[in-house]
Amino acid sequence: MTWTQTDIHALLEKQKTFFQTGATLSIDFRLEMLRKLRNAVRAHETDLTSALEKDLGRSPAEGFFCDVGTLVLEINEILRGLRRWSRPEYHFSGLVCFPSILTRVYKLPYGQTLIISPFNFPFLLSLGPLAASLAGGNTAIIKASSKSCHATEVLLRLIVETFPPEYVAVIDGGHDVADLCLQERFDKIFYTGSPSVAKHVLQEASKNLTPVALELGGETGNWCIVRKDADLQDAARKIAFFKLLNAGQICININQVAVARECAEEFLRLLKSEFTRQIGQDALLHPEYPHLITSAAFDQCAAEAERYRERILYGGQGCRETLRYQPTIIYPVRADEPIVMHELFSPLLPVVPYDDDKADDLLKLIGNREHPLALYLFTKDRKWANSVMQSQQYGGGCINEVCLHLMVKGVPFNGTGHSGMGAYHGLWGFREFTHPSTVLTGSTHMNLPLREHPFTKSKLRLIRLFER
């Protein structure tokens, strides 16, 4: 379907009418809809993983691990906690409000929500925010990515079979259709993508003062720091795994590795060995190795690698026909070179050597750039690592591990600055898609006239007494 402004406006009006019936306010209704969503994901598992293979070359195992299974776990967490999260909070109003001593905080839905999802995890990053939106009692329109066309086709079918359009709908199309959506007056917008597009989303949302949540990759990329005291074998194994995942097309992936000069040679040897062990001598021939999303993405990756051709230690070859590009180690790279000044979103891995005793200087350099979505440290010095994690500005991260903070239940996934705003997953997603409303229940008896004119000296004395 080719969407027009009239079509989108009519769909939004249908959702607004449905929301105003109050049907979504029922917790039982929300739980039922979340179960329907979970059941639909399970029923379409083969379709989902097949679409991921067609769009991104991801194996069924990787597709299940990263999109389908993770999504089911996310919905299960919401199902277990929703009744508890949605209960009103009760607060003592304080003596200054006497005799009206009871205040409630209700968690109310925003209303009509717009979810703009990306191509790299087309199900997790569309249906995950959708689950949070439905848990909050909202209606939702998903603007799916035009780049992952097979995934969008499956997503359309799944939603049509599961929900009426006045409750949940999917809109396909390119950036022009996304702009048509942004011209409408939604009550909440959730966008996942790049900082440059996020600025446009914010600008459009500001026209209606629409609250926005942003999950971004970070303009200057995510750093991984390997100290000389790190377990180099462990670090190499985990970094290689992560860089191979989805061919590096992950918002929390490692953009560049900073390695202590004292151990750089050994680390590079181990890293090359791990790439080969995990994906074979030539990743282009391995059936489980994903590919880049479009020919434009491939060309950008290949052109960037070519600029550093003389410093490629591993990989550096691609096949435009299959859109695959080998995991590629580039060394040495200075921390001020262009390749480490922007998000790569590819299997290229620049390695920046630094003197281990100047690790804090490296952190200052990172801190002066745009805030990353993730930060990873490999070291045996837990005191130093904990200090870094409590003082740097970033979304989330790991010490002696990669990416798994995304999988932890009960904690937020978020960014800050150019890596995003807001947070979701579990309770945090419910909070992101609801707004707190404070309501004081007044008493009709024993009301004190302290707040009423005239303000006598005796009243003022009593007011000051209450303040103390």
Please list the active-site residues: 215, 251
Place of tokens 């993405």: 297
**Which tokens belong to 367?**
């801190």
What is the C-alpha to C-alpha distance for residues 25 and 47, in angstroms, rounded to an integer? 32
CA distances from 241 to 166, 271, 332, 404 (A): 42, 10, 21, 12
Best CA proximity match to 257, nearest among 366, 361, 357:
366
Strand partners, 90: 104
The angle at the Cα of 171, spanning 110 to 192, to the nearest 5 degrees, equals: 60
Strand (E) positions, 102-260?
102-109, 112-116, 139-143, 168-171, 188-193, 212-216, 223-226, 256-260
Measured CA to CA, the distance from residue 333 to residue 76 in angstroms comes to: 44
Three-state DSSP at 227 gives: coil
Say which DSSP state 426 is in. T
Q: How many angstroms separate the CA atoms of 260 and 355, rounded?
A: 5
CA pair distance 112, 110, nearest whole angstrom: 7
Taking every pair of C-alpha atoms in the chain, what is the biggest distance, in angstroms?
88
In DSSP notation, 115-132 reads EE--SSSTTHHHHHHHHH
Other CB atoms within 10 Å distance of the CB of residue 405: 17
Q: Are 292 and 314 in contact (CB under 8 A)?
A: no
